[in-house]
Every structure is written in structure tokens, then in C-alpha cells.
Amino acid sequence: MAVSATIRRLLVLQPIDLPVFHPIALKLVQLLADVNFKVDDLVSTANDDQVLAGQILKMANSHVYSGRVKVETIKDALIRLGAQHVSNLAMAASQSALHVSANTFVNKIMTELWFHSHACALGCRWLATNTGNRNIAEQAYLAGLLHDVGKLFLLKALERLTNAGMAQAALERELLLEIFEEMHVEQGLRLMEHWNMPPSYRLVVASHHLKVDRSASNTDDVLVAIVRLVNIATRKRDLSLSTDTDSLALLELPEAQLLKTTEDQLRELYGIFEKSRGEI
């Protein structure tokens, strides 16, 4: 069932200012895109929002993220964990807070989206680390976290429209999944371009549903392959809005072959998904 022209038009016309990124977390990502970034600038930016800074430190001390060292300040976290890791924690903490709604139905879907995105983020970092791509592990984390940001935008847009007395019918699960399927990639890419996110993350948002070239060797294709494989694998553990993968042999997928993924690695990846549930 195709999304109606009326609903599509209403969604496309929704302003880009809907809250899908925290401004501080977004600024940290943009600062890191400059190879000449200064640690003091990162510290100052992160501390601009004390609530977010507290959430960063809480996550930094969680065993699933680090756990081996106790960090008490943002600067301490940056020195011990690395700038990219701390920036990712800021984005994760802020994304968690954005996946909530006073509308019971919307809140349920947002919770499911967050469980999926969080599992993908942890899974992507683990898979990168364990398939010879440690150099892009933190990049893979953020790519996994944000690959479905278009769905969050669409859900917030539909909630705004419903509150204005329009598109009430769209807040029904089957139709909502159709809207996600048809529109979340284009709207996610629109967001990433508007907020000037680094090209590698834009590519993941644009390509995470497209087949990758198993003969490719550049980092971007590997990153897309990691996100695609983890994204599909979450469906096997009921951590996705889509669960129609019972017949899929994951190790036969071109993404798994490109990454040289093994059966043992796949089992360990599922274990990472289970850990992700306990950290939310």
C-alpha cells in the first residue's frame, strides 16, 4: 500500500526544526569533523548543557561503554576514552531523551526505535572492531545510532500534524510502517544534509537499504556493509520494527561476505544485542 499523496505532501512540508538532534551533541560531531579541533573546545561545548554532561558521564561509566575506568569530568572522559567516543556518548544520551512522547502510541513506537538504534550502535562498533575495522569502530557506532533518524523525524512530524487536527489516520501501526518504508531514507538524508553532518554518515543514511559491492574496498562501503548487516541482524532478535527475516541466511549476504563474518561472530553479535537491552 503506497503512502497517500496528501500525507506525503504534509510530511515533506514539515519544517526541519523538529527535535531529532540535540544542538550540543550535533556541535560536537561537527567540531570533530575538523582535523584541527581542540580538546578545550570539546570540553567547553559539552559542559554548555550540564544535564547532558551528566548523562555523558553516566553512560561513560556504564560497563557496556567502558566500565574499566571511572571518569568524573568531561575532560577526564575525553582524555581517557577519546574525543570520538565521548562525542558518541553525547549523541546517544541526547537521542535517548528525544525518543519520548506524551502520546501513548507514539511513545511506544519511539521506544522501539530507540531500542533498535541503540542495539545497532553497539553492534556496529563491536562488528567493526572484530572484523579488522577497528579504525572505524567509533564511526560505525554513530552510523548505527543515526541510520534511521528519518523515522524519528517522520514520527515527530506525524505527531505534530495529529496535534494540529491532521493526518490522525497515519498514527496506526501498519500505515506508519508503510510511511517509514517509503520515506525514512529521503527524510533522513534531508536532515543530514541540512545539519551538515559528515559525508560518511550521510552515505550510510542514503545507502543502508541498498546492496553493497562485495568487491569494494573503500572505507565508506565497509561502513555501509557494517550498518546493513547489523540492521538486518537486529530483526532476528526482535529489536526492529521489521521482523520478516526468518528465512534469511545472514552469512550468505554480500555484507557478511565482504566483512568475512563468521558464525561465531554472529552469535557474539546477538549477545551484544542482549546486553544493549539492559543498558536502556
Residue 169: predicted pLDDT = 67
Give the integer Cα–Cα distance in Å for 148 and 145.
8
Give the integer Cα–Cα distance in Å for 95 and 76.
23
CB atoms within 10 A of CB 112: 16
For 153-164, the pLDDT digits (tens) are 999 999 998 888
Residue 15: predicted pLDDT = 82
Residue 244: predicted pLDDT = 61
Residue 218: predicted pLDDT = 62
> For 219, how many CA atoms within 13 A lie in the half-sphere containing its CB?
11
Residue 60: predicted pLDDT = 84
To the nearest whole number, what is the mean pLDDT of the chain? Answer: 89
**pLDDT reading at 40 higher than 90:** yes
**pLDDT reading at 248 higher than 70:** yes
**pLDDT reading at 184 higher than 80:** yes
SS (H, E, C) the chain: CCCCHHHHHHHHCCCCCCCCCCHHHHHHHHHHCCCCCCHHHHHHHHCCCHHHHHHHHHHHCCCCCCCCCCCCCHHHHHHHHCHHHHHHHHHHHHHHHHCCCCCHHHHHHHHHHHHHHHHHHHHHHHHHHHCCCHHHHHHHHHHHHHCCHHHHHHHHHHHHHHHCCCCHHHCCHHHHHHHHHHHHHHHHHHHHHHCCCCHHHHHHHHHCCCCCCCCCCCHHHHHHHHHHHHHHHHHCCCCCCCCCCCCCCHHHCHHHHHHCCCHHHHHHHHHHHHHHHHCC
Residue 209: predicted pLDDT = 82
Residue 66: predicted pLDDT = 58
Q: Which residue has the higher pLDDT, 246 or 149?
A: 149
**pLDDT reading at 47 higher than 90:** yes
For 115-145, the pLDDT digits (tens) are 999 999 999 999 999 999 999 999 999 999 9
Give the integer Cα–Cα distance in Å for 86 and 19.
21
Q: Please state which of the ranges 62-66, 160-164, 240-244 shows the lowest mean pLDDT.
A: 62-66
pLDDT interval class at 75 (50, 70, 90) = very high
Amino acid at 260: K
Residue 13: predicted pLDDT = 86
**Which residue has cell 505527531?**
159
Q: Which residue has the higher pLDDT, 203 or 245?
A: 203
- In the chain the domains, ranked by start, together with CATH numbers, are 5-278 (1.10.3210.10)
Residue 178: predicted pLDDT = 92
